[in-house]
Amino acid sequence: MDLKSTNRAFGGEVRKYTHASSSTGTEMTFSVFVPPAAALHAVPVVYYLSGLTCTDDNAVQKGGAFKAAAEKGVMFVFPDTSPRGAGVAGEDESWDLGTGAGFYVDATNEPWSKNYNMYSYVTQELPKLIEQNFSVTSLKSIAGHSMGGMGALAIAFRNPDAYASVSAFAPIVAPTAVPWGEKAFEAYFGADAATKGKEHDPCALLRKRGSAFPQFDDVLVDVGLDDQFLQTQLKPELLEEAAAAVGQKVSVRRHPGHDHSYFFVSSFMEDHVRFHAEALARKAAADASEGPSAPISAVDAATLASFAKTAGKPIQCSAAVAWGPKQPLTHETVTVAPPRAGEIRVKVISNALCHTDIYTLDGHDPEGLFPCILGHEAGAVVESVGEGVTSVQVGDHVIPCYTPQCNAPSCIFCASPKTNLCPTIRSTQGAGYMPDGTTRFTAKKDGKDVPIFHFMGCSTFAEYTVIAEISAAKINKRMPLNKACLFGCGVSTGLGAVWNTCKVEEGSSVAVFGLGAVGLAVVQAAKMAGAARIIGVDLNKDKFRVASQLGCTDVVCPSDHEKPVQQVIAGELTKWGVDYSFDCTGNVDVMRAALECAHRGWGESCVIGVAAAGKELATRPFQLVTGRVWKGTAFGGWKSRSAVPKLVERCLSGELPVDHYVTHSIAVENGDVAAATNAAIDALHSGDCLRAVVTYDDRNAAAGP
Ligand SMILES: NC(=O)c1ccc[n+]([C@@H]2O[C@H](COP(=O)([O-])OP(=O)(O)OC[C@H]3O[C@@H](n4cnc5c(N)ncnc54)[C@H](O)[C@@H]3O)[C@@H](O)[C@H]2O)c1
Ligand SMILES: [Zn+2]
Ligand SMILES: [Zn+2]
């Protein structure tokens, strides 16, 4: 997806993008209006389909939707009206067929069928792209003008569960019975025009259904009485007749003096934005309170009630404190101060151990600060919020994220699609403090209060911790927190390295060095991306069984070979090397091997592992001159607050299983977080551990659907 332009509007932003479309086989352009609310939370989306001859620009520049959309907190998406430059014979001969006139159908007739697939584009490909790349919920509505009004009505009537509401300006309501529709359907469907056309004819769809849509309690339609196409092409009365026949409410409003233009559309746009915003809000509320996908509160009433008592006061709780490098964690009762402005205090329910915690505890991080509370892969519940916090509330389930996402308009990192490295609280986080330069933790040592440093902005080896609001990813309450914690670091990182940092394509070859949780997440993501060959490399052969189950086609143990492993991969297993390689060990010699087994001419190698202090990378420059690319990733390139909740949704939907990462589960007993965490550290060192999940609060950990 390429960003072509950005313009500020009504506190939000209008952005234009192009991308390669699999539906049309061409480059497609679309525009979006991102409302200011999207910086704080995911927003619902209205898809707006334009009419004949339009591009995405017409409604963007003349539709007048943004003021109300900004107020209501809805995003608008404006797709183009057809593929462009597809090279189909005749596509540019008339204005009502071909270019600018896709009619939102999937053509079945040659020569149109290859590219003219606007139905799939608008209903499948584009929403998926939007949901992957923007801070949006899965709730959507649809609207359109003229041909786009027809498209909106037909799409909503065909997929009533997918849209909260539908509205139209001057729609072609019965395309099979008017010249524009007859001409287009004859071209796009050929001999099947009569039957196929009915599947895109709003009136025919209503009559065929034979009853009202419980999903749409009203359908809003505006027409101008001086519209030059009213009698010949639009015929709104046919929609009223069909709706009346099946008992569907449709509100057709007729406006004297108005024509077919954007002067007409923009005059009534605000009503449509409100109509959709209200329906979207109703659907969100209904989803939240009932139905099989309803979120449930995994935290019991007693826990929630206890939050009301502790809010605003210091909390004394158990924590595992690291007093110095190479020392075991000790059990301490620490005092956790209430959150200050822009901060939240959370109750940690579960924590998975990541290698980076051990790396710091073992003294390999020269910037490691002691005494500190380590831990950064957790599932937690918000206990209280500091002044000015609006994006999370008490009782919300969150994953603390060491890579924050401030989304401030002035943050060029958050605004860029190229990176997730928001620097807003970087300096204080690195120094072991909260953003105001102080700590919220104190412990008693020899009778004195000793301040304790924070770690990676998380410090989750404690029953309660304080994090910045911009570090909290709010997730679906249906996700058990003892699994959710996995998304706090290693698993998300491996997935993102493949999908975001390297964008591994279908059919490519991949080598993964180190088959711990991070490496296995790389394997899982590469498999999901359709990689044809996945070579797993590890010194520990015990890792090979699960690696093969997850998708490795080959496994290599470097100590089985005389030659350096890079020469086994590039030379024996493949001729020229692999398209993508990943270091998931943190060993700089392995990083070199990973680069050198990348394909001559285009292979990319991604450093994920964190190397020990003072280590440097080496290779011959010729490796890069001959086309290899060396890159690295932090947290898999995910913009934490918008991306982590979506990963959790994909996990809940069954698309992204993660249970296999949890090889050890340890419960905190007698409130001793340190003993349980030390046991997890021993497990991680044992060699057969991927993730050891420590549960601080058993009662609330596994609750879920
Ligand atoms: N970039 C990031 O944002 C990020 C995030 C999380 C973790 N990490 C880092 O990623 C690395 C992997 O994390 P993990 O939790 O999966 O660790 P892990 O210890 O569970 O797994 C590492 C694997 O590498 C194997 N290995 C070690 N030396 C090897 C060698 N010379 N050749 C082949 N295999 C070898 C080990 O046997 C083990 O299976 C760590 O360095 C961690 O600090 C980075
Ligand atoms: Zn980590
Ligand atoms: Zn930022």
pLDDT per position as a tens digit, 7-64:
999 988 999 999 999 999 999 999 999 987 787 678 899 999 999 999 999 999 999 9
Q: What is the pTM of this model?
A: 0.64
CATH class (in words) of the domain with range 314-488+658-701: alpha beta
User: Would you call 240 exposed, middle or buried from its count of C-beta atoms within 10 A (0-12, 13-18, 19+)?
Assistant: middle
The ligand placed nearest to the CA atom of residue 515 is 1
Q: Which residues pair with 632 in a beta bridge?
A: 607
Domain 492-637: give its CATH code. 3.40.50.720
What are the pLDDT digits (tens) for 110-126?
999 999 999 999 999 99
d(Cα 490, Cα 647) in Å, to the nearest integer? 13
Taking the domains of the chain in order of start, what are their residue ranges? 2-289, 314-488+658-701, 492-637
SS3 15: strand
- Torsion 501-505-509-512 (CA) sign: positive
The ligand placed nearest to the CA atom of residue 608 is 1
**Which pLDDT does position 298 carry in this prediction?**
59
Residue of 523, 539, 585 to test ligand 1 pocket, by largest number of atoms within 8 Å of CB: 585
Q: How far is the CA of 101 from the centre of ligand 1 (A)?
A: 53
Residue of 376, 420, 513, 539 to test ligand 1 pocket, by largest number of atoms within 8 Å of CB: 539
Token pair in block for residue 245: 């026949």
Contact 145, 167 (CB under 8 A): no
**Which pLDDT does position 699 carry in this prediction?**
67
**Which pLDDT does position 702 carry in this prediction?**
58
CB of 514 shorter than 6 A to ligand 1: yes
**Which pLDDT does position 282 carry in this prediction?**
86
Active-site positions read: 354-356, 376-377, 406, 411, 414, 422, 426, 489, 691
What are the pLDDT digits (tens) for 416-461?
999 999 999 999 999 999 999 999 999 999 899 999 999 999 999 9
**Which pLDDT does position 657 carry in this prediction?**
83
Q: How far is the CA of 414 from the centre of ligand 3 (A)?
A: 4
Regarding the domain with residue range 2-289, which homologous superfamily does it belong to in the CATH classification? Alpha/Beta hydrolase fold, catalytic domain (3.40.50.1820)
Atom of ligand 1 nearest to the CA of 514: 24
Alpha-carbon distances of 238 from 204, 407, 412, rounded to whole Å: 10, 48, 52
Domain 2-289 and domain 314-488+658-701 have a common topology: no
Residue numbers of the chain with a pLDDT score lower than 70: 40, 288-298, 699-705
End-to-end CA distance of the chain: 36
**Which pLDDT does position 650 carry in this prediction?**
87
Contact 208, 187 (CB under 8 A): no
CB of 402 shorter than 6 A to ligand 1: no
E strands, 90-132, in order: none
Atom of ligand 1 nearest to the CA of 540: 37
User: Would you call 394 exposed, middle or buried from its count of C-beta atoms within 10 A (0-12, 13-18, 19+)?
Assistant: middle
